[in-house]
Amino acid sequence: MILIVYAGTSASGKDSAADYTVQKYGAVKRTLSDIIRTYLPPGASNAALRVKGNELRSAYGQHILARLAHEELRAMGTSLGVIASVRHPAEAKYLQEQGGVFAWFDAPEQTRYERYASRGEQGRPPMTFSEFVTEEALQFRGDGTGYSLEAVRNLVPQDNHIWNTYPSVDMFLNRVDAFLRHAAKIPA
């Protein structure tokens, strides 16, 4: 299975890129956030997702969410899997060990806030711009549990940093495809 992993800041386009990868390339998608949501009531806040994710990591290992998503994709027998919403360095390292190829997504803070606010996710409490910025800083720098978007970003090669545009996603996936085709021709 070819495993593509999308990580990045909130509302940077990770899930949109994953959906695009599903639609255009026939991938099967899993998000770590969706795995966490199965343990929470509908409409849980970002803070509740982070707390529950940390509880699961503490109980079952720092890479548990990545392992569950990867196992689901393997069990389905898909040839192209995409995992989005990786937020912990242990998850990123686990998926790298499984052969995952990473892209990092980002966008200007104001743009990301506008995307977040326009979603109007049912049952989720809205955040002000100030609250969004505070939540983002906590996610990026870490919360003391090892959860750190900055550490995840630092694991992703600079060439794989994407400002969310579909042509950029296509270029990334074409590079991955070319690399895999070349690697398949190299004798072990």
> Do 46 and 40 contact (CB within 8 A), yes or no?
no
The more confident residue out of 187 and 111 is 111
- Buried (b) or exposed (e) across 5-25, using 16+ Cβ within 10 A? bbbbbbbbbbbbbbebbeeee
Q: Given a cut of 60, is residue 146 above it in pLDDT?
A: no
Give the mean pLDDT of 90-106. Answer: 91
Threshold 0.85, pTM exceeds = no
The pLDDT score that the predictor gives to residue 158 is 63
Would you say residue 117 has pLDDT above 80? yes
DSSP designation for 12: S
Distance CA 129, CA 29 (A): 30
As a whole number of angstroms, the distance between CA 58 and CA 73 comes to 23
CB 106 within 8 A of CB 8: yes
Alpha helix ranges (H) inside the chain: 14-25, 32-37, 46-60, 64-76, 89-97, 109-119, 129-141, 149-155, 166-185
135 — pLDDT class (breaks 50, 70, 90): confident
- Name the more confident of 179 and 151: 151
Q: Which of 33-47, 68-82, 144-158 has the lowest mean pLDDT?
A: 144-158
Whole-number Cα distances in Å, 25 to 4, 17, 58, 89: 12, 11, 35, 27
Higher pLDDT, 176 or 54: 54
Domain boundaries, the chain: 2-185
CATH fold of 2-185: Rossmann fold (3.40.50)
120: pLDDT strictly greater than 60? yes
